[in-house]
Amino acid sequence: MARDPRYDILFEPLAIGPVTAKNRFYQVPHCNGGGYRDPSAAAEMRGIKAQGGWGVIFTEQCEMHPTSEITPFIELRLWEDQDIPMIAKMADRMKEHGALAGIQLAYSGINGPNFYTKEVPMAPSALPIRTFTNDPVQARALDRQDIRDLRRWFVTAAKRSRTAGFDLICLYGAHGFGIFQHFLSRATNHRTDEYGGSLENRSRFVREVIADLRDAVGDSMGLTLRVSLDEITGDLGFGNAEVRDFIEMHSDLPDLWDLAHGTWEDCSGPSRFKEEAAQQDLVQGIKALTSRPVVGVGRFTSPDVMVRQIKSGILDFIGCARPSIADPFLPKKIEEGRIEDIRECIGCNICITGDMTMSISRCTQNPTFMEEWRKGWHPERMNAKGDSSSVLIIGAGPAGLEAARACAERGYDVALAEAQSEIGGRVARERLLPGLSAWGRVVDYRAYQLSQKGNVETYLNSSLTANDILQFGFENIAIATGASWRRDGVARQHVSPLPIDPALPLYTPDDLMAGSIPTGTVVLYDDDHYYMGGVLAELLVQNGATVVLVTPSAYVSDWTNNTLEQASIHRKLAMMGVDIQLNRGVVAIGADHVLTNCTYTDVTRPIPCDAVVMVASRIGNDGLYQALKARQDDWPDAGLKSVKLIGDANAPGPIAWATYAGHRYARELDEPDRGDALSFRREITALAE
C-alpha cells in the first residue's frame, strides 16, 4: 500500500547544520539498561530502528569524561580511544538504512556522584549531588581552569564521536541531568563571575562549548542542544519564560533545538498522568524565536497528531523515545500506509524500569526490545515455522494474545480459547481502572492483528477442561489462564495467611474490577507495592469511600519509583483525601477494624472500618495445566506433543512479563531443546593485557 498523502510532510528531508535527515522521525536519546555492559545488544536495538525508517537515531546518554558519571546507572562511556569501537558499532548500525547517527554527550555535573571513578564531582556551584537516591556526596565548584579543561574535554569527545562515525552531537542540558542546564539555571548556578548572574552570563558556557565544537567538528557534524522546557525547581528554576528568552537571545546557536520537559519524570510522564502531546503549551511559539529546526517529544504515536505538530508550526521533527521502543517500525508503517499495524506505546514506563533497576529494558508492547541481538528476535519477523502444525492457546490475556499472534505469524494453525465473553484477560479489566485506559492498546493491537490472519480462530465463552483439550487433537497447547488475587494476605509481610474475622467484608482487586466496590470507611492494605493499590484507592474514592491506605513500605506504590510516577501517585492520592499510612503493616483483621503494626517498633493500632481491600499477591491459575499433566499417558492417543504453562498462570508479574512469555513461547515452539545452554547471547568484558 502507498502512504496517505496527508502524511507526506513527515517524509520531507530537513537539514540539521551540515547534514540532512531523510525524514522527520527523530528518535531522541533514550536509555535501555544495557549501555556499556551490553554494547552489542544496544547497537542492534538501534539498528532495528534504522530498518524501521527513523531519519535520526540517537544513542542513550554517553558519559564523555571520567570526572562525571552516574553509577549505578548503566549508560555509554567515551572516556578514552579504547571506547571508540563500542560506540562505532552502534553508529554503524544506525546508519545502515540512511538515518543520521547521533550521540548524546553528557557531563552530569551536579547529577553525577562518581561512585565508580571516585573523582570529586564538579558543577557550576558547590552543592549536594542531586540524584534519585540522595547520595551523601557534594560537588565542588568548577574554577576557571576547570572550565577550560571541560571545554577541551568536550572537544576531545566530539572528535572521538566523529571518528566513531556519528553525524550529530546532542549536548545534554535537560531533565536536570546535564551540565548545560546546571549553568543555565539559577537553582544550580550561584556563581558571581562571568559564568553566573545574568542570563547572558549563565549562557556563556554553552556558547563557548558550541563555538569550540563548531571549530573542531562543525564542518561535518550537526550540533544540537537539548534543554528542558521548564525546570520545575521553584522560582529559581530555568522556567519556560527564561527558556524562551534564552532561545531568543541565542536563536541560531545550535543547529537544532531539542526541547525536552522538566525532570525526567515530567518528560517521560506515564499515560496515567500525561496525554499524548502533553508538552504542547510549553513548546508552542518557540519555533518563531529561531531559524533552526525544533524537535520535541510527547509520546507521539498518532500520525495525525504528528502532522498537526508540523503543519501548525510547533515542531519540525517528531521526537520519540517510547513510541520508537514500542514500535521501531513506526515510520515504515506510516510510509507503507499501514497505520493500523502501529504497535502504540501504552505509556506504562516499564522500559524505564530497565534503566532504573540497572538490568536490561523490556517493553510491554514490544517483547523483542533489547532481545534483537541477545536472542535474534526481530519486532516484525518471526522465525520459520517448525515441524508441527497446530496450537491451541487457552486464555486470551496478554500472554495468550501475544502467543497467538506470534504463532500465527510463524504460520501455525492457531486456536485461541477464552472463558470470558471478550478477549484481553486482566487487561480487559485493568484498562477500565482510573488512568489506565491507554493500557488497552495491548489488547487492541493484538485483536486487530489476529483479525487480519486467516490461520487463527478465536473462541469466546469457552472455558476448557482437560477432557475438552484431549478430544480436540491439537499438537501443542499453551496454557495462559492467568492469576487471581489472594484473599488471605500472603505476600511480603506475611508468608502464611493472616488471622481474618469473616465478619468484616473483605475485597480483592478482582472483586473491585468485577464491579463489587465497598463504601464507607475502607482500609486498603497494599503489600503488592506496584500500581494496583494506588489505582484502587482512586477508584474507591471516586465511588464515595473514605480510604485509609496502609502499606509496610516507606512509599505508597513503592515500585513505581522505577516507572517515574511514584511522586505523582502520592500527590494525587493525598489531594483526593486518601489517608496514607506508611511503614505500617497489618497483623490481623477484626470484625470492625484492621489491626495495623509499625514496621519498625511493632506497636499495634486498630483502624476502625467498614471493609478491607486486600492488595497482597496473586496465585497462578494452573489447575488446567496440572489436570493435563496428570493425564500425560493419554497425550499420544490425543496427538498431543507439548503442553506449556505461560504468563501469569506460570508466575504472576507485570503485563510486560506476560507478553514476553507469550512471545517466547511462540519463538521456541518446535525449536530444538537447548539443554542447559544459556537462552541468550551475552557479552563479557575482555580481560586487559
Is residue 509 close enough to count as binding ligand ADP by CB under 6 A? no
Q: Which CB sits closer to ligand ADP, 303 or 398? A: 398
CB of 24 to ligand SF4, least distance (A): 20
Q: Which CB sits closer to ligand SF4, 270 or 585? A: 270
Is residue 322 close enough to count as binding ligand SF4 by CB under 6 A? yes
- The beta-strand segments (E) located in 355-497 are 390-394, 413-417, 456-459, 476-479, 483-485
Q: Which CB sits closer to ligand SF4, 426 or 584? A: 426
Q: Which CB sits closer to ligand SF4, 166 or 369? A: 369
Is residue 315 close enough to count as binding ligand SF4 by CB under 6 A? no
170: helix, strand or coil:
strand
Among 394, 406, 450, 522, binds ligand ADP (CB under 6 A): 394
The residue type at 586 = V
| CA distances (Å), origin 490, targets 86, 95, 183, 509, 554 | 46, 52, 51, 14, 19
Is residue 433 close enough to count as binding ligand ADP by CB under 6 A? no
CB of 324 to ligand SF4, least distance (A): 8
Chosen from ligand SF4, ligand ADP, none, partner binding at 20 (C-beta under 5 to 8 Å by type): none
Is residue 169 close enough to count as binding ligand SF4 by CB under 6 A? no
Number of residues that bind ligand SF4 (CB under 6 A): 13
Place of cell 529546526: 293
The per-residue b/e assignment along 89-113, b for 16 or more CB within 10 angstroms, e otherwise, is bbbbbbbebebbbbbbbbbbbbbbb
Is residue 425 close enough to count as binding ligand ADP by CB under 6 A? yes
Among 364, 368, 458, 560, binds ligand SF4 (CB under 6 A): 364
Residues 170, 258 contacting (CB under 8 angstroms)? yes
CA dist., res. 296 & res. 308, Å (int): 13
CB of 433 to ligand ADP, least distance (A): 14
Q: Which stretch binds ligand SF4 (CB under 6 A): 286-294, 344-352, 404-412, 675-683?
A: 344-352
Cell of 1: 500500500
Is residue 347 close enough to count as binding ligand SF4 by CB under 6 A? yes
Among 91, 227, 417, 613, binds ligand ADP (CB under 6 A): 417
Cell of 682: 551475552
CA dist., res. 28 & res. 56, Å (int): 8
Residue (of 246, 243, 309) closest to 282 by Cα position: 243
Q: Which CB sits closer to ligand ADP, 42 or 649? A: 649
Is residue 365 close enough to count as binding ligand SF4 by CB under 6 A? yes
Is residue 346 close enough to count as binding ligand SF4 by CB under 6 A? yes
Is residue 557 close enough to count as binding ligand SF4 by CB under 6 A? no
615: helix, strand or coil:
strand
| Strand order across the 584-589 sheet | 584-589, 593-598, 604-608
DSSP for 542-608, written as a single string: HTT-EEEEE-SSSSTTGGGGTTT-HHHHHHHHHHHT-EEETTEEEEEE-SSEEEEEETTT--EEEEE
Chosen from ligand SF4, ligand ADP, none, partner binding at 426 (C-beta under 5 to 8 Å by type): ligand ADP
Chosen from ligand SF4, ligand ADP, none, partner binding at 379 (C-beta under 5 to 8 Å by type): none
Q: Which residues contact 684 (CB under 8 A, 6 or more apart)?
A: none
Number of residues that bind ligand ADP (CB under 6 A): 26
Interface residues toward ligand SF4, by CB under 6 A: 322, 325-326, 345-351, 363-365
